Amino acid sequence: KRLKPAFTTTSICGYCATGCQLKLHLDEEGRAINLSPQAGYPVNLGMACPKGWQALDPLDSADRATVPLLRDPDGKMVPVSWAEALETFTTRMKAIKEQHGRDAVAFLSTGQIPFEEMSLLGCLFKFGMGFLHGDANTRQCMATAVTAYKQSFGFDAPPYTYADFEESDVLVFIGSNLCIAHPILWQRVMRNKRNPKIIVIDPRATETAQAATQHIALKPKGDLALLYALAHCIIRDGRTDAESIARTEGFEELAAFLQDYSPAAVAERTGMSVEEIEALAHTVSEPGKRVSWWWTMGVNQSYEGVRTAQAMINLALITGNIGKPGTGANSITGQCNAMGSRLFSNTTSLTGGHEFAYAEHREKVAAGLGIPVESIPSEASMAYDQILAAAEEGKIKGLWIIATNPFHSWIDSGRLEALREKLEFLVVQDMYHSTESARAADLVLPAAGWGEKDGCFINSERRIGTLKKVRQAPGIALSDFRILRLIANAWGCGEMFAKWTDPEAAFRLLRDLTKDRPCDITGIEGYEMIDRMGGIQWPFPADRGEDRPAPGEERRLFSDGIYYTPSGKAKLLFSPPAELPEDTDSAYPYLLLTGRGTSSQWHTQSRTGKSDILRKLYPQEAYIEVNPADAARLGLKEHDPVQVSSRRGEMQAFVYLAPTVKPGQLFLPMHYPEVNRLTHPSFDPHSRQPNYKACAVALKKV
Ligand code: SF4
């Protein structure tokens, strides 16, 4: 077999929000035969993690969905034509709508598809089909960051650029195991030549904590109290930045609130001594030092994630660590297109960085898309958990799941099996017919995957990059874009989407909608320009003269001290820490932490689990990290089989003796299907993001 490429092209990796660019090696027919990381791209600088290197493997898997499958009266899934699949889809969804109304059908989509497809889905479902409720798995990932930024800055605006990893003097990571969750970004930290202090605040001695200059093994969910105590000390000692505070609202109220959060008052809750808290406060407020705050899922996936994120934002604002090199309160999101979903998916926000509630936004979007303004609802969608609760109550009867696997990934996942019985019609649109969700479906629509279609992703630092079709989807599987256009025609609203001829035409429509919004990208001509410029960070307006960034320039937000709120000032927001939703007791004496276990697997393993190489890098049988002292007390040895149980379910795993978890705590990687049978369904009240990180469990030998 010839391995020398005839051509090459580039594509953004389709897993995490780092947004590495890969160089795809093509044969004479334009089919990808191999890949390597792209050397000149400003994100990954020639590096990729194992998932990126093996990105082509999942396309060749034997369990690809190649034809539509429909459940027959005997319960068997049988192949059908696209014509029959589309007829079934529209007939049954329309019947539910006629009988039960527009609130009776919902979709659950993803941060894994290009934003052109996300937006088409949201526009078709709401404006064309006339339904109201749809959400994405981004609710599990970065809804907290979105809400925190919107409330504090007036727009969902991560302020940083990846160069800040290299330009910071003090980097504080909270709830972020960057080494394995975003390994290329960790390499950017390692390129920092300023001899930085790298502080990791995490209950576990994670890979990142072990590589840091300081690890603070905080008590689980002691982070919010600790952040308040740091701000208390900084204000008490006058180590604030008056100029930056003048650009905020609510400083007096914050200072009064923080009176109760002295180091002595929070020491017990955080598990830290007063001296340790005072020393940390000193480190993060040293005059002349560039301090950056970074968080990932340990904060986002929490019952008080929004206020925790905002406590970091507050610290950045009161110390003047924002809008300058090496600073910021910076959310590193999870999925390849998380930022695209945030701006364009048309779920809880109106596409193009708008809001459903504002009449002028609806009028602008309607005019841009050439559709009647009455077709755009003024209400936002229910959030993911509310959609599932409505399905449990029998109010939602039809559910359409696109490129996500909630039967594995949703918190307290056992509930979905009971909920399944309540649904009249479950459609799953996916690359594979084998996921837990696809196996529960009435209809499976076979979709092309990454590498089999065109479009754009937007990464964590707001950089738009393109992905390319370098393989033919198997069988009669189609891109999500094609499937959605076929559904539009079958539904009878195809005319409304006549301008959405292909992904790049959709890109131009959506680009024009962003005019005068903070995420204005009207200066981008098209895909070729994005590739030529090494990706483009928003904002990139067409007509702002000197404000328009130069090609290749990395740019952070708020260097002018002007925020997106009506007053132009950032808001300092806070509220008292809440109690753990489910603490340990005598029946369930261990606190279970969950999270990413490896850089070689992605989420539910539905794609990365198809790669022989990636499987060899990670145990296929579930393991649980147990502190040796707890293991000794329970008579457990390395690799003993154990049962882990919570009030909601149980699972089996093998013991991995790990002094990296504290006594009384356990850690399970999220990649195994049974893990979320255990997790406790509690949610942040502002963002509705699930609290995956702490619940009470029991452990026993089997
Ligand atoms: Fe880069 Fe993330 Fe892809 Fe790994 S998974 S290659 S870190 S984008």
DSSP symbols for 106-158: EEEE-SSS-HHHHHHHHHIIIIIS---EEEEGGGGTTHHHHHHHHHHHSS---
Say how far apart CA 216 and CA 220 lie, in whole Å: 11
% of the chain surpassing 70 pLDDT? 98
Q: What is the pLDDT of residue 547?
A: 64
> Which residues 6+ apart lie within 8 Å of 76 measured at CB?
none
Give the nearest ligand 1 atom to 19 CA.
Answer: 8
* Ligand 1 center–CA 438 separation, angstroms: 26
What rounded mean pLDDT belongs to the chain?
A: 95
Say how far apart CA 425 and CA 427 lie, in whole Å: 7
Sign of CA dihedral 407, 410, 416, 417: positive
> CB of 120 closer than 6 A to ligand 1?
no
> CB of 52 closer than 6 A to ligand 1?
yes
DSSP letter for each residue of 236-279: HTT---HHHHTTEE-HHHHHHHHTT--HHHHHHHHT--HHHHHH
Regarding whether 294 and 229 lie in a shared domain, the answer is yes
- Cα-based distances in Å from 82 to 86, 444, 475, 480, 486: 6, 11, 12, 13, 9
230 domain-assigned: yes
* Ligand 1 center–CA 138 separation, angstroms: 17
Buried b (16+ CB within 10 A) or exposed e, 507-525: bbbbbebbeebbbbbbbbe
3-state secondary structure 632-701: HHHCCCCCCEEEEECCCCEEEEEEEECCCCCCCEEEEECCCCCHHHCCCCCECCCCCCECCCCEEEEEEE
Structural domain total, the chain: 4
* Ligand 1 center–CA 184 separation, angstroms: 7
Could you report the per-residue pLDDT of 597-618, keeping only the tens digit for each? 888 888 888 899 999 999 999 8
529 domain-assigned: no
Burial class (CB in 10 A: 0-12, 13-18, 19+), 550: exposed
Regarding whether 301 and 278 lie in a shared domain, the answer is yes
Q: What is the pLDDT of residue 603?
A: 86
Could you report the per-residue pLDDT of 181-221, keeping only the tens digit for each? 999 999 999 999 999 999 999 999 999 999 999 999 999 98
582 domain-assigned: no
3-state secondary structure 416-431: HHHHHHHCCEEEEEEC
> CB of 48 closer than 6 A to ligand 1?
yes
> CB of 332 closer than 6 A to ligand 1?
no
- Assess whether pLDDT exceeds 80 at residue 373: yes
Could you report the per-residue pLDDT of 272-324, keeping only the tens digit for each? 999 999 999 999 999 999 999 999 999 999 999 999 999 999 999 999 999 99
> CB of 16 closer than 6 A to ligand 1?
yes
Rg (C-alpha) for the chain, rounded Å, is 24
> CB of 13 closer than 6 A to ligand 1?
yes
Q: Which of 12, 20, 22 should be mutated for ligand 1, with most atoms under 8 A from CB? A: 20
Q: What is the pLDDT of residue 2?
A: 56
Interval 408-423 mean pLDDT: 92
- In terms of residue numbers, what domain contains 308? 143-332
Say how far apart CA 14 and CA 54 lie, in whole Å: 11
Give the nearest ligand 1 atom to 52 CA.
Answer: 6
* Ligand 1 center–CA 139 separation, angstroms: 21
In DSSP terms, 136 is beta-bridged to 109
Among protein residues, the one whose CA lies closest to atom 4 of ligand 1: 49
CATH of the domain at 483: 3.40.50.740
Regarding whether 343 and 488 lie in a shared domain, the answer is yes
Say how far apart CA 447 and CA 65 lie, in whole Å: 7
Among protein residues, the one whose CA lies closest to atom 2 of ligand 1: 16
Task: Give yes or no for a contact between 572 and 317, defined as CB atoms under 8 angstroms apart.
Answer: yes
Q: What is the pLDDT of residue 237?
A: 98
- Assess whether pLDDT exceeds 60 at residue 672: yes
* Ligand 1 center–CA 162 separation, angstroms: 14
Could you report the per-residue pLDDT of 58-106, keeping only the tens digit for each? 999 999 999 999 999 999 999 999 999 999 999 999 999 999 999 999 9
Global pTM? 0.96
Regarding whether 622 and 608 lie in a shared domain, the answer is yes
Task: Say which range, 259-263, 377-381, 439-443, 448-452, has the weakest mean pLDDT.
Answer: 377-381
> CB of 55 closer than 6 A to ligand 1?
no
CATH of the domain at 631: 2.40.40.20
Regarding whether 284 and 271 lie in a shared domain, the answer is yes
> CB of 183 closer than 6 A to ligand 1?
yes
- Assess whether pLDDT exceeds 70 at residue 552: no
The 8-class DSSP code of residue 381 comes to P
Task: Give yes or no for a contact between 92 and 398, defined as CB atoms under 8 angstroms apart.
Answer: yes
Dihedral (C-alpha) 661, 666, 671, 675: value to the nearest 10 degrees? -170
* Ligand 1 center–CA 61 separation, angstroms: 20
545 domain-assigned: no
Say how far apart CA 470 and CA 660 lie, in whole Å: 42
**Is 339 in a helix, a strand, or coil?**
helix
> CB of 150 closer than 6 A to ligand 1?
no
- Assess whether pLDDT exceeds 70 at residue 545: no
Q: What is the pLDDT of residue 4?
A: 85
- Assess whether pLDDT exceeds 90 at residue 652: yes
Map tokens 């040293």 to a residue. 286
Give the nearest ligand 1 atom to 48 CA.
Answer: 6
> CB of 20 closer than 6 A to ligand 1?
yes
Q: Most distant CA pair in the chain: distance in Å?
A: 73
The 8-class DSSP code of residue 550 comes to P
Burial class (CB in 10 A: 0-12, 13-18, 19+), 528: exposed
Map tokens 């949703």 to a residue. 410
| Other beta carbons less than 10 A from residue 374's beta carbon | 9
562 domain-assigned: no
The 8-class DSSP code of residue 58 comes to G
Regarding whether 362 and 242 lie in a shared domain, the answer is no
* Ligand 1 center–CA 461 separation, angstroms: 14
532 domain-assigned: no
> CB of 18 closer than 6 A to ligand 1?
yes
3-state secondary structure 447-473: ECCCCCCCEEEECCCCEEEEECCCCCC
Last residue of a domain, one of 300, 332, 364: 332
Say how far apart CA 575 and CA 309 lie, in whole Å: 12
Regarding whether 202 and 182 lie in a shared domain, the answer is yes
Give the pair of three-digit tokens for residue 391.
């399905």
Q: What is the pLDDT of residue 620?
A: 87
Closest CA to 459 of 388, 535, 394: 535
Interval 547-560 mean pLDDT: 78
Last residue of a domain, one of 332, 358, 376: 332
CATH of the domain at 39: 2.20.25.90
* Ligand 1 center–CA 12 separation, angstroms: 9
> CB of 184 closer than 6 A to ligand 1?
yes
One-letter amino acid identity for 204?
A: R
Task: Give yes or no for a contact between 331 and 158, defined as CB atoms under 8 angstroms apart.
Answer: yes
CATH of the domain at 228: 3.40.228.10
Regarding whether 255 and 313 lie in a shared domain, the answer is yes
* Ligand 1 center–CA 48 separation, angstroms: 6
Half-sphere exposure of 115 (CA within 13 A, CB side): 30
* Confidence band of 19 (pLDDT split at 50, 70, 90): very high
Regarding whether 310 and 235 lie in a shared domain, the answer is yes
Q: What is the pLDDT of residue 551?
A: 64
Interval 377-384 mean pLDDT: 94
Regarding whether 352 and 306 lie in a shared domain, the answer is no
Regarding whether 382 and 264 lie in a shared domain, the answer is no
The 8-class DSSP code of residue 375 comes to G
| Other beta carbons less than 10 A from residue 684's beta carbon | 24
514 domain-assigned: no
Say how far apart CA 501 and CA 81 lie, in whole Å: 23
Give the nearest ligand 1 atom to 459 CA.
Answer: 8
Beta strands in 152-257 (DSSP E): 170-174, 197-201, 214-216, 248-249
Interval 133-156 mean pLDDT: 95
Regarding whether 274 and 212 lie in a shared domain, the answer is yes
| Other beta carbons less than 10 A from residue 622's beta carbon | 18
Give the pair of three-digit tokens for residue 94.
């329309």
* Long-range Cβ contacts of 19-23 (<8 Å, 24+ apart): 19/43, 19/336, 19/457, 19/458, 19/459, 19/460, 19/461, 19/463, 19/465, 19/535, 20/44, 20/47, 20/48, 20/49, 20/52, 20/184, 21/465, 21/535, 22/48, 22/52, 22/55
Last residue of a domain, one of 298, 332, 366: 332
156 domain-assigned: yes
Angle at 593 between CA 590 and CA 597, to 5 degrees: 135
* Share in percent of the chain as helix, strand, coil (round to 5): 35, 20, 45
Q: What is the pLDDT of residue 380?
A: 87
The 8-class DSSP code of residue 372 comes to -
Map tokens 């000794």 to a residue. 632
E strand or H helix at 19: none
Map tokens 């936004």 to a residue. 361
